[in-house]
Amino acid sequence: MSEQLTYVYTAMLDVLGYRNRLQDDRNHGTLSFKYELQRALQVLAKINQADYDYQAISDTIIITCNKREEFIGFLLTIKSVVLSFLRENLFVRGGIAYSSILKVQILLTAMQ
């Protein structure tokens, strides 16, 4: 196991109205919200993973950057994500933090 203290920029974005939109789709027997969300999330495939990392879980999108010199690019990436959601008439809210995180990696090996 290795531990590393790293400073990163972290953006957390939440999709507003997620639960209500899911319930609307259920009530009406449609998948419109699912398709809007899928189209909006396609922007994540364009993120340069050499500089940024991202995860989309349920109604939350987390984007991180551990290179100080990439801060402007980080902001532009967040802007492109927000615009992608707005194009689908989906709203997001969130914030950006710069702080240290403890990243723990565990190496598992198979026994033969």
State pLDDT tens for residues 54-88: 999 999 999 999 998 999 999 999 999 999 999 99
Ordered domains of the chain (ranges, CATH): 2-105 (3.30.70.1230)
Q: How confident is the model at residue 6 (pLDDT cuts 50, 70, 90)?
A: confident
pLDDT of residue 110: 54
**Phi, psi of 8, deg, nearest 5:** -140, 155
Question: Which pLDDT does position 103 carry in this prediction?
Answer: 58
The residue that leads in pLDDT, 85 or 3, is: 85
